[in-house]
Structure 1
């Protein structure tokens, strides 16, 4: 066989002898018949195309059964997604078993050059990695420098009139015309297979993109539905909170408003609601509101849910107990019991103190999530504010009632005996004139003290009535410069007979050269009378009361000390509250004295405080500003 002619596959039918001198056309038809068998095998292989890395070497192995090929380089300007990428083609290399790797670089250089010319690309850069390209192994002969230049044949791969790749082969010798025709047929089939494969990859990629877009759209729709649902739920929570707040603000009587809150909660937010408030001693609780309904979908004929709640639920059967509250740092408690899968209890706190609980019970599992718990925490805070406001209003009403009673006593019951004292003192004073001896002078002094006390009581009554008429306004003062002795001595003269009657010692210690103070004399006499009078009242017989005055930090500090029983620590914070009286004290009083003292001292710009120790007595201090 002459060089470059086609070989015959052993599997082809036995060739019939051609008569000598037969026409050339018969010989060409015979070659074509032999090619069809190989083209059919190549076509079958390309029909099951599995990618260039695997299919291309198999096709070239089949082609070598017809043509004496040494190397084959396939350049495809399509990316992995099947999209055109002509400037960066992918290269797949095949070489025959007897061909060294040293021949490949020259073939690649030639293939890239011809690909650029056929594809119309001026600059071509191969994509990595190059499939089938191997380094020369040790012992493998290098390409002979004196060998003849190889002959390369480059054929374009065409799709829809555009070149998308090339097939370059190197044959042993020169290929005959039928060999070129066979190679052209193989190239065409390879181009069709590659184009079909790229189209399939594009279709798969488009389908994947479409599926991804569809998933994204479904996710967006899901998120939109969730956002809409959450917005609706948030609007529902805000609407409920607004309605509950309006209901709580509509009345200062929580016994009227809290049952309305229970009706708002059931059945919209719970199947049962109970609101309990603790009594002052925190030992027991009063159920203010209770509301329960049968759950939606409750099977007829089964045991009543409401009956089970009232009979056996730990929170519904009985009012809450202060002894079974959750930890002080926890304001929310969630529990699950058999038959009661969703239970929520919240503390109602007023200024850090638990005053009650809000209990919610539901037959629906997992009914109370984080959003609902936050909503009911806010509701519990607003209930606490409403209860606090109602309690303060009740206290204010009670204080007003006590004030009115006190003013009635002052204006009616005290005026009459005061008038009697004044009239009799005036009569005694007239009877004592003219003064005769020392007894008459002493009697006259006592009568003058009675008149002085009467005048002081009259001023006190007038001041209280003024305070009542000017409720909430600043206390009127008429401050003037006074020595401490001028303020202390009148008080001692009035109260000394009371101390002598109990065999008590009344001592005065005023610092030397004490400066004058700026004060309203009548008001300060009221302060001293109250403090010294309390000391005489609560100090036992044979006790000692000491009144001291010192200059301290630019002020005059006055103290009244006794050695009585002292004051319990729990009572000290309440000493200066209006109408407050210690429960352990047997002496009668209105609970206003120290409150009035505090207001007078603060109106002068001073301070009032107490230091006490049970069993060792008490010392009351107050300060007055110096006269300018």
Structure 2
């Protein structure tokens, strides 16, 4: 029971390996070692322990020392193996590597149990258990049965730890790739946008003679700005998943934030012949918030509302005072979202199946992360053919101060 509890708590790879061999000695064996597959398919000693503290320097040299395909850990062939009498002749027949063989001989092992470790068809290596001359005990078939139960728990724990390690390595690799790609994209994008601005402001005058050229250049500018937003979204999602989303909160008037949001969205809405309306209840308390991040939320929510609202429709930006918070609403008259899709809309990279692809599905996930980082909450309601309403709360400066004091 204790072994199961300890192994269940072990999720870090190195911690799990160390726990596995320490739990085996001296309860089950006098010596325990794990031999795990390396990237090239060979077996490597990953962790080991011995009941005699004087053997610690020798045992400490075992991890990282590669084994050979003919070694003792390869003899189990998918099933437990008992070696009742590990004399020098048997040891020399089992181990081809001279250095490894000399190490095992110095440990004074007298019998061995080799347990192959696997979960769901994945080969995880072997657990090697041994008795020593000092203890005068020798393994029997009964010990193989007992050790087999322990080996299955070790295999499950190692498998869990490997899955976590693989996931963490994949996440770190993705973060590095996203960071490098985003940086490499940002530089040429900046060059493109500077060149476009120069052409529109300094070269192509705004008249009928240059109308076609300016329209083409404007198309390039819109595409470059959209790509720049996508790069920014990728960087934000990477920071969010790494727990590194930074806020710079200040005291902000809620009315001003709504006014800024309307100003931000109005040019895009005008292009699509959509009306943006502010609906602010007064008076509103001040917020403790990061202004730029809040405008990012409004840009994402309002941008989606404008994108999916048909020509002649309306988008409302509303705000009401709540309990120690301000409740903001972004409401549109678009096609709506199916009830079955609502639970998924804040997941990264999720997109509604019934709509055209108009992004990579990161905007709402970023909105949720920003709102929750402020200590607020976000949700949505929708009715097909009527429209969608997004509601989120941001603590007031007074409410945030009280929350901080309560947590102190």
TM-score where L is the length of structure 1 = 0.36
* 1:548/1:558 contact within 8 Å kept: yes
Residue 397 of structure 1 deviates from its aligned partner by 0.7
Q: Which of residues 522, 533, 546 in structure 1 aligns to 2:303?
A: 533
Aligned partners of 2:383, 2:123: CA distance in 1, in Å?
37
* 1:567/1:618 contact within 8 Å kept: no
Please list the CA deviations of residues 255-282 of structure 1 after superposition, one character each: whole Å capped at 9, or x if unmatched: 85889899789555x4326xxxxxxxxx
Inter-CA distance 474–505: structure 2 relative to 1 (3 Å threshold): closer
Inter-CA distance 374–568: structure 2 relative to 1 (3 Å threshold): farther
Q: Secondary structure at the match of 1:517?
A: strand
Q: Gaps (5+ residues) in structure 2?
A: 1-23, 47-66, 85-115, 127-140, 208-220, 399-408
Residue number in structure 1 paired with 2:280: 510
Are 2:195 and 1:389 aligned? no
Q: Aligned runs of 1:346-385 on 2, under 5 Å?
A: 347=119, 369-385=145-161
Q: Gaps (5+ residues) in structure 1?
A: 1-229, 274-291, 297-343, 349-354, 432-449
Inter-CA distance 477–419: structure 2 relative to 1 (3 Å threshold): farther
Q: Which of residues 389, 392, 404 in structure 2 aligns to 1:619?
A: 389
* 1:543/1:564 contact within 8 Å kept: no
Q: Aligned runs of 1:234-383 on 2, under 5 Å?
A: 234-235=28-29, 239-240=32-33, 243-244=34-35, 247=36, 270-272=76-78, 347=119, 369-383=145-159
* 2:119/2:159 contact within 8 Å kept: no
Q: Which of residues 521, 524, 527 in structure 1 aligns to 2:291?
A: 521
Residue number in structure 1 paired with 2:351: 582
Residue number in structure 1 paired with 2:178: 402
Aligned partners of 1:582, 1:509: CA distance in 2, in Å?
29
Q: Which of residues 352, 366, 376 in structure 2 aligns to 1:607?
A: 376
Aligned partners of 1:258, 1:571: CA distance in 2, in Å?
49
Residue 556 of structure 1 deviates from its aligned partner by 0.4
Q: Which of residues 323, 335, 352 in structure 2 aligns to 1:564?
A: 335
Residue 528 of structure 1 deviates from its aligned partner by 1.1
Residue 570 of structure 1 deviates from its aligned partner by 6.8
Inter-CA distance 615–430: structure 2 relative to 1 (3 Å threshold): closer
* 2:117/2:123 contact within 8 Å kept: yes
Residue number in structure 2 paired with 1:477: 248
The more displaced of 549-558 and 408-417 is 408-417
Aligned partners of 2:168, 2:43: CA distance in 1, in Å?
17
Residue 530 of structure 1 deviates from its aligned partner by 1.7
* 1:539/1:565 contact within 8 Å kept: no
Inter-CA distance 233–531: structure 2 relative to 1 (3 Å threshold): same
Aligned partners of 2:327, 2:377: CA distance in 1, in Å?
10
* 1:475/1:600 contact within 8 Å kept: no
* 1:511/1:550 contact within 8 Å kept: yes
Higher relative contact order (CA 8 A, sep 6+): 2
Inter-CA distance 414–481: structure 2 relative to 1 (3 Å threshold): same
Aligned partners of 2:183, 2:383: CA distance in 1, in Å?
34
Aligned partners of 1:379, 1:257: CA distance in 2, in Å?
18
Residue number in structure 2 paired with 1:183: none
Aligned partners of 2:73, 2:310: CA distance in 1, in Å?
62
Q: Aligned runs of 1:20-39 on 2, under 5 Å?
A: none
Inter-CA distance 598–265: structure 2 relative to 1 (3 Å threshold): farther
Residue 531 of structure 1 deviates from its aligned partner by 1.5
Q: Aligned runs of 1:99-248 on 2, under 5 Å?
A: 234-235=28-29, 239-240=32-33, 243-244=34-35, 247=36
Aligned partners of 2:168, 2:302: CA distance in 1, in Å?
33
Residue number in structure 1 paired with 2:99: none
Are 2:192 and 1:416 aligned? yes
TM-score where L is the length of structure 2 = 0.52
Q: Secondary structure at the match of 1:623?
A: strand
Residue 425 of structure 1 deviates from its aligned partner by 5.8
Q: Secondary structure at the match of 2:28?
A: helix
Aligned partners of 1:544, 1:370: CA distance in 2, in Å?
71
* 2:279/2:318 contact within 8 Å kept: yes
* 2:265/2:276 contact within 8 Å kept: no
Inter-CA distance 568–375: structure 2 relative to 1 (3 Å threshold): farther
Aligned partners of 1:426, 1:596: CA distance in 2, in Å?
37
Residue 625 of structure 1 deviates from its aligned partner by 2.8
Please list the CA deviations of residues 418-445 of structure 1 after superposition, one character each: whole Å capped at 9, or x if unmatched: 56347746999999xxxxxxxxxxxxxx
Aligned partners of 1:377, 1:265: CA distance in 2, in Å?
22
Inter-CA distance 359–498: structure 2 relative to 1 (3 Å threshold): same
Aligned partners of 1:372, 1:602: CA distance in 2, in Å?
47
Aligned partners of 2:328, 2:43: CA distance in 1, in Å?
51
Q: RMSD over aligned Cα, in angstroms?
A: 5.1
Residue 541 of structure 1 deviates from its aligned partner by 4.8
Residue number in structure 1 paired with 2:101: none
